[in-house]
Amino acid sequence: MALLFLSMLVFQGWTQSSGHRIQGKVEEKGAQALPGATVILARPNVATGRGVITDNEGNFIIRNIPPGKYILRISFIGYHTLQKTVEIRNAAINLGTLLLKVSSEKLKEVQVVGKTPPVEIKGDTASFNSLAYKTNPDANAQDLVSKLPGVSVENGQVKVAGEEVKQVLVDGKPFFGNDPKAAMQNLPAEIISKIQVFDQQSEQSRFTGFDDGNTTKTINFVTK
């Protein structure tokens, strides 16, 4: 099952040795799977947590969770956010099917063209179709990404599931050096075909083929 880990944030008490996990499936009320939904698990009264997005069948799994009480939040553009309290006691918890209700007000922000899905998951990359998200004619890349599920923009800083985007690429190449804010504010939304979100491995990992655990939250804009 291909899952994209949107957040590598680990707050106190989250360790790789805990071994607990939680999983489930996200669907629209009416049994239609919702790929690309954002799922965030956080301690009560804590803003950040661990986030993933659902795969092409709407499934998700979050691993290595210490026992305790958590708030699970599931969101997707065009739907009401689902929030519930869960308690991790056993090594594995399956929440089964979780249903999101359509928000007619939010649906105005999404325009799905033809049968092209708003998001596709391939390996560790989430690829968003720009045509599915309505923007003004003079919009830039930052305006576009602010429409994506799980993405927030504050004072020009872009975060995906609470983790700051550190690198922006255009067609796989660096754009505006190490300044994601300048890159997104200077790239017109109208020339963007897809927005790919992923955790890029360190240069050492890519060179040696050994995963050292160091990643950089990255957005790659694929142009038309």
Looking at the fold, whether 200 and 130 belong to one and the same domain comes out as yes
What pLDDT is attached to residue 45? Answer: 80
Q: Is the pTM of this model over 0.85?
A: no
Last residue of a domain, one of 80, 100, 120: 100
Looking at the fold, whether 129 and 210 belong to one and the same domain comes out as yes
Looking at the fold, whether 128 and 92 belong to one and the same domain comes out as no
**What parts of the chain have a pLDDT lower than 70?**
1-19, 31, 47-48, 104-117, 205-206, 211-213
Looking at the fold, whether 114 and 176 belong to one and the same domain comes out as yes
Looking at the fold, whether 117 and 202 belong to one and the same domain comes out as yes
Domain that holds residue 116: 109-223
What pLDDT is attached to residue 200? Answer: 84
What pLDDT is attached to residue 11? Answer: 35
Q: Where are the beta strands (DSSP E) in the chain?
A: 4-5, 20-28, 32-33, 38-42, 50-53, 59-65, 68-75, 82-88, 92-100, 119-122, 125-129, 151-154, 157-160, 163-164, 167-170, 173-174, 192-201, 215-223
Strand-pair category, 82-88 with 20-28: unpaired
Looking at the fold, whether 54 and 25 belong to one and the same domain comes out as yes
Looking at the fold, whether 153 and 201 belong to one and the same domain comes out as yes
DSSP state of 112: -
Last residue of a domain, one of 76, 100, 124: 100
Looking at the fold, whether 38 and 127 belong to one and the same domain comes out as no
What pLDDT is attached to residue 208? Answer: 72
Looking at the fold, whether 61 and 167 belong to one and the same domain comes out as no
- Write the CATH number for 38: 2.60.40.10
Looking at the fold, whether 135 and 170 belong to one and the same domain comes out as yes
What pLDDT is attached to residue 219? Answer: 94
Q: How many domains does the chain have?
A: 2
